[in-house]
Amino acid sequence: MNDDLFRLVYYSRNHIRGDADTFDAHVGDILARSRTNNTRDGITGALLFNRGCFAQVLEGPLATVEAAFERIQQDERHGDVSLLALDPIAARSFPNWAMGFVGASDVDAGRFAGVGASSGFDPSRLSGDEIHTLLRDLTIEEEAA
Ligand code: FAD
């Protein structure tokens, strides 16, 4: 198997309905499943939720990253899944995260608003690079906290 590293970036729209507790329970399920599967599959990355959208970076061997993305696209908890980037990389940006979760706090929301403002808060107008940089910066801050 070719173990060269690839980075995949996508965004999607949240389809989870209900109150904050319902949303938190679903995201808890997604993160628990992601961390188990991604550890098994050699995938690292981070997931951002904000303003009704998810954005995610997956890094790892091409075969397992593509297989995870196939499963993710079929998940009814979100929709309008749009691939922004799939590129070879020299090194991981999230080596310590089987799947970090950022963006839910007020501070993160402010940071996302800054990036979002450049796109009119339309994530489809953000590039894969912008989302990757935002997620990397937020996870570095989480690690330092
Ligand atoms: P199981 O956990 O056994 O699930 C079986 C099936 O049921 C799957 O098709 C699953 O999609 C579906 N399912 C389970 N619970 C629910 C529910 N509450 N509502 C609707 N369908 C449900 N998976 C990863 O492996 N890595 C990731 O990084 C990752 N990131 C994700 C990010 C987002 C925003 C979302 C919405 C999902 C993500 N997932 C991720 C989950 C992914 O979509 C699959 O659900 C999961 O990979 C399936 O794992 P499994 O094969 O072990 O099946």
Of 52, 34, 53, the residue nearest 43 (C-alpha): 34
Secondary structure letter of residue 106 according to DSSP: H
pLDDT at residue number 144 = 80
Distance 74 CA to ligand 1 centre (A): 8
C-beta atoms surrounding 79 within 10 Å? 11
From 33, 38, 41, 83, mutation site for ligand 1 pocket: most ligand atoms within 8 A of C-beta: 33
Secondary structure letter of residue 118 according to DSSP: T
- The number of distinct structural domains making up the chain is 1
pLDDT in tens for each of the 145 residues of the chain?
457 999 999 999 999 999 989 999 999 999 999 999 999 999 999 999 887 889 999 999 999 999 999 999 999 999 999 999 999 999 999 999 998 888 766 666 666 666 555 555 566 677 899 999 989 988 888 878 7
pLDDT at residue number 55 = 92
pLDDT at residue number 110 = 64
Q: Which tokens in the block code for residue 74?
A: 């079929």
Of 79, 74, 56, the residue nearest 7 (C-alpha): 56
The CATH number of the domain holding residue 104 is 3.30.70.100
Domain hosting 37: range is 5-144
